[in-house]
Structure 1
Amino acid sequence: MVDTVLRKPLIGRKARPVIETALADTRVVLIAGPRQAGKTTLARQFSGSDRAYVTLDDAGALNAAKTDPVGFIRGLNRAVIDEVQRAPELILAIKESVDREDAPGRFLLTGSANLATVPAIADSLAGRMAVVPLLPFAQSELRSTPGRLLDRLFAGEEPETGDGTVFGDDLLETVLRGGYPEVLRRATPARRVAWLEDYVALILDRDVRDIANIDQLDRLPRLLDVLAEHAGQLVNHSSFGAALGLSSVTAQKYVAILERLFLVRTLTPWSNNRLSRLIKTPKLHFLDTGLLASLREEEADVLRENRTRFGALLESFVVSELLKLASWSERRLSFSHYRTKDKDEVDVVIEDRRGRIVGIEVKASATVKADDFRGLRQLQEAVGDRFVRGLVLHDHDRVTPFGEKLHAAPLSILWTM
């Protein structure tokens, strides 16, 4: 199925209508996501005679932007500026320009670093900029399906299977491929791994320098390898740092940089006053499982036999797909995880602005037992009527009820609903 889809000349991005809407009423729009996720391809669709395209990957443009940011922006009425994090000096010049001429859609920016997390930049463009996340391809984009799972769950619908159900070896291959466009064009695992290795080297060498001052840049590749082995586990900066001879504080700083570059994502712990035995430690995930599998040197034959190692990949895959679904939903959703000191857990807790909750637990096995819902039942009891749905997503092709608002469901409902 995936190979058939990939022969299409251009895969539609769910973010496009979100960007169109933002450009119609907001002065500055930022497409934020990892390098090589497809930001440039998408942004160029909005350039033309009335909106110039400029990339700061071009040495001449970058030099001009850094040397005279005000003059650089003054020469642009409406523009697409690609990889804007390479010249953060432009941000204040853009603010000055859009304050003087406040028409919507003035600037469409792309950034391979999460500029919205930088206080100076966020404050400068507060009220003037909309941020649209763009991660590597979601399965619903690759398969041309609606991708409305979260909206439908919060609307009260029960999970259901549909066309495009994937399980077994097909699910394993889907997880191992990930979503980077360049990886999906490569036919063999060896070619995919070669590209991903070059990709990581480029980001850790050049992109890190654009956003941070790091004394021990050579430690970052090793740190990324350490984090890959801890994917799906609680964050322990002391342990990460000890493996590399770094202090806990330095390790925490470096992990935050990798998060700003959209390589990893930490989920904050969910909290509730009614429960006193909750773990208050974030959980670590990778935003692309093709990259995660490459760093862990995972192979399909080994993962078929070792479901524990596949489980770590699968959980990050689910988190990534859920974040992608949320990025084009009209609902404002927050993500966290639930874990008690007794090790009862819910892998992903999704909460809307009304405080309503959907809980997701991920299992690599085809069989689900009542005990697999223990964490979800605790969460359901803690929040009462605010509990919308609890799902155990697993390697299967059918939906099975396990109680009121509780179901086991195929992983593929992430794109079939």
Structure 2
Amino acid sequence: MVKCVNLQFNCKLTHGVDLVYQYLSRSLEAGIQKATAEFPVVVLVGPRQSGKTTLLKHLFEAQYKIISLEAPDVRLAATDDPRGFLNLFTPPVIFDEIQYAPTLLTFIKELVDADRNRPGQYILTGSQNLFLMEQVTESLAGRAAVLKLMPFSRWELAGIPERYLPWEKEAGDNGIGTNLPVQSYTELWTQVLRGYYPEIALAAERDSRLWQASYVQTYLERDLRNLRNIGDLTLFQVFIRALAARCAQILNLSELARDIGVSVNTAKAWISILEASFQIFILRPYFTNIGKRLIKSPKIYFMDTGLLCYLVGLRDPEHAASGPLGGAIFENLVIADLYKIYMHRGEEPPFYFWRTLAGEEVDLLVEVQNNMIPLEIKISETPRKEMVKGLTSFQRDFHGKVRLGFVIFPGKTSLPLGPNVVTLPLMNM
């Protein structure tokens, strides 16, 4: 069941026509409402333009004052006299982009401690995970719930924010378990190129490449300088593009650093910055010895396929799907979508990949109640039995810990491909 209301954003096309977007319900809504009923402070983080402010306005505009700390004069008032500023804007209040005035956090802690049992006093938003979480940990430990909002998942964009994954419960009410709308191959890849940020995903009139170019430039100029002194922004942009070309691959950090002409430590620091600002996420290998997960080479995925395609220079759906990066982009789409689904439930995604020295590999492992769901992701619309080699090898090596395995593909029919392995059409995920 599609849940939406009309919202008017302050956005115009070049010819001056107002753009009217629909508000699409987000999967995180229930989690935010629960957190505000239980914690005195709720912190909502996520990349720029993921819809944090829009979501909070939709849920809380009638009950909360909303103060943006991005404006220089407001920021100056908050930093010059934090006590006076907080006395002026008493709870319940939303402080948007709190990273611009981190000194407020210590004073918010004092006010919360004076009325500790009152939930929902402050909602804070931010776009820089590393910096903000350091401040929250120091000032608001035990007082704040932290939630993360990413760009739309495919569920949310289809207007079905609440569903079960195929390996979870059976279908229930309110569209849970319902398949997503059928998309043609061209429609799917057109959306992959546009991406899933609300502003561009909801407005077919917008020039997606122009929006993506502006987003990357804004990110480079604003967020990076706030997080760390990068120095050569042009070289950093080359680094991002080189990393995008390696999406869904085992990351060889030494090779990447050598190709760009930077030290390995610099490459590590830049990856940390990209992860902290929610542009990428890291998938680590699975081992029975948990300690080994952190010392083996990971895979890198981009949070948004639109920005990924922009960074590698893809412009049309056919080239994106059939080109040399087609399989990696499709894998990125599926894993990023699952990642967002878990994040919007308020859960850290329990994801790994598996690869042996002999080259046997499973693209994604999802840990569910101490069991593993192995997923292979294939761009081909024609499933073949050889696609399950990695799945059957993993099932053999981890017998007793593995549930049904899936081959996710862009076709339309679910079929058995072997013992305990079935195909899973993307629209069913």
Question: So what's the TM-score if we normalise by structure 2?
Answer: 0.86
Partner of 2:75: 62
Shift in Å, 1:369: 1.9
SS in structure 2 of the partner of residue 372 of structure 1: helix
Q: Relative to structure 1, is the Cα distance of residues 257 and 240 closer, same or farther in structure 2, using a 3 angstrom cutoff?
A: same
The one of 53, 70, 74 aligned to 2:66: 53
Q: Relative to structure 1, is the Cα distance of residues 96 and 115 closer, same or farther in structure 2, using a 3 angstrom cutoff?
A: farther
1:21 has 2:56 as partner: no
**Are 1:51 and 1:80, in contact at CA under 8 Å, matched by a contact in 2?**
yes
Spell out the pairing of 1:10-409 with structure 2 (5 A cutoff): 10-48=23-61, 50-75=63-88, 76-102=90-116, 103-115=118-130, 118-150=133-165, 152-155=166-169, 162=179, 164-187=181-204, 191-273=207-289, 280-298=296-314, 299-306=316-323, 308-329=324-345, 333-352=349-368, 354-409=369-424
Shift in Å, 1:114: 1.3
Shift in Å, 1:18: 1.1
Rounded to whole Å, the distance in 1 between the matches of 2:393 and 2:266 is: 36
SS in structure 2 of the partner of residue 388 of structure 1: coil
Q: Relative to structure 1, is the Cα distance of residues 5 and 336 closer, same or farther in structure 2, using a 3 angstrom cutoff?
A: farther
Identity rate of aligned residues, in percent? 33
**Are 2:44 and 2:124, in contact at CA under 8 Å, matched by a contact in 1?**
yes
With 396-405 and 248-257 compared, the bigger mean Cα shift is at 396-405
Shift in Å, 1:375: 1.9
With 371-380 and 249-258 compared, the bigger mean Cα shift is at 371-380
With 85-94 and 252-261 compared, the bigger mean Cα shift is at 85-94
| Structure 1 letter corresponding to 2:394 | L
Rounded to whole Å, the distance in 2 between the matches of 1:95 and 1:356 is: 40
Rounded to whole Å, the distance in 2 between the matches of 1:405 and 1:329 is: 28
Shift in Å, 1:65: 2.1
Rounded to whole Å, the distance in 2 between the matches of 1:339 and 1:25 is: 42
Partner of 2:174: none
Shift in Å, 1:166: 2.9
How many pairs are equivalent?
405
1:86-143, Cα deviation, whole Å (9 max, x unpaired): 2222222222221222211111111111148844532432222112211111111121
With 91-100 and 259-268 compared, the bigger mean Cα shift is at 91-100
With 361-370 and 232-241 compared, the bigger mean Cα shift is at 232-241
Q: Relative to structure 1, is the Cα distance of residues 149 and 389 closer, same or farther in structure 2, using a 3 angstrom cutoff?
A: farther
SS in structure 2 of the partner of residue 154 of structure 1: coil
- Consecutive unaligned residues in structure 2, runs of 5 or more: 7-19, 172-176
Rounded to whole Å, the distance in 1 between the matches of 2:60 and 2:293 is: 53
1:144-188, Cα deviation, whole Å (9 max, x unpaired): 2254343x513488xx88351335222222222211122224436
Shift in Å, 1:5: 11
Rounded to whole Å, the distance in 2 between the matches of 1:268 and 1:203 is: 26
Shift in Å, 1:243: 2.6
Rounded to whole Å, the distance in 1 between the matches of 2:180 and 2:377 is: 21
Shift in Å, 1:47: 3.9
Q: Relative to structure 1, is the Cα distance of residues 331 and 40 closer, same or farther in structure 2, using a 3 angstrom cutoff?
A: closer
1:234-258, Cα deviation, whole Å (9 max, x unpaired): 2222222223321101111011101
SS in structure 2 of the partner of residue 387 of structure 1: coil
Rounded to whole Å, the distance in 1 between the matches of 2:59 and 2:228 is: 30
Q: Relative to structure 1, is the Cα distance of residues 277 and 43 closer, same or farther in structure 2, using a 3 angstrom cutoff?
A: closer
Q: Relative to structure 1, is the Cα distance of residues 378 and 91 closer, same or farther in structure 2, using a 3 angstrom cutoff?
A: farther
Q: Relative to structure 1, is the Cα distance of residues 410 and 180 closer, same or farther in structure 2, using a 3 angstrom cutoff?
A: same
Rounded to whole Å, the distance in 1 between the matches of 2:122 and 2:74 is: 16
Q: Relative to structure 1, is the Cα distance of residues 168 and 281 closer, same or farther in structure 2, using a 3 angstrom cutoff?
A: same
Shift in Å, 1:281: 1.0
CA RMSD, Structure 1 to Structure 2 (Å): 2.9
| Larger RCO of the pair (alpha carbons < 8 Å, separation 6+) | 1
Q: Relative to structure 1, is the Cα distance of residues 96 and 235 closer, same or farther in structure 2, using a 3 angstrom cutoff?
A: farther
